[in-house]
Amino acid sequence: MGNYLYSPSPAVHLFITGLDAAGKTTIIYKFCQMKNIQFEVKNQYNSFMCFEHINFKNYETITLDLGGNMRPEPFITKNVVGCNVLMYVIDISDVYRRQEAKDEMFRFLQVSETRGIPLIIIFSKVDLPYNMTETEFIKFFELDKIKERKWTFIMMSAYTEMGLLEGFKWVESKAKLIF
């Protein structure tokens, strides 16, 4: 008789961030709806920020809104430990906040605990009007400056489901490389 070791898929510990209203929670909800996956949401608030824990399938996620005068580095430092993939979501239809989204992304990536963790950048809400091409977004957000980590970007629409499966396949493939 042989012994078989069963090991379920490793958990994906995903830290999702971006400016408020970028589409972070909607992306998770829509992915779960597409795959008919049950999920659990726990909202937590403190004096200056709201963050969510959303658990589904073999995922544990933490989502956090960035921007404004808030300085969430201590929260990021504490909660990114143990994460094996980072997701940064940018609402590409929000022309007034593009520079803020870019600044916050690079500030987030400077937190020492995020270094080396694979990153997926989601350009969300591509179903809405925007005034730049994919190439122009890459140039504007200076993605060539992202070093010392595996990274990619996906053009995504939770509404039309464009890029959802592709994005989560990338997340899962990078999470498995960690173990």
Three-class DSSP category at 5: coil
Task: Write out the E strands in 4-163.
Answer: 12-19, 39-45, 50-56, 59-66, 85-91, 119-124, 151-155
> DSSP label at 130?
-
Mark the binding-site residues, compressed into ranges. 18-25, 68
Give the C-alpha separation, 139 to 148, whole Å: 19
| 99 CB-contact burial (10 Å; exposed 0-12 / middle 13-18 / buried 19+) | exposed
Long-range contacts of 3-8 (CB under 8 A, 24+ apart): 8/58
- At 122, the amino acid letter reads I
Mark the binding-site residues for Mg(2+), compressed into ranges. 25
Mark the binding-site residues for GTP, compressed into ranges. 18-25, 68
The DSSP bridge pattern shows strands 59-66 and 50-56 to be antiparallel
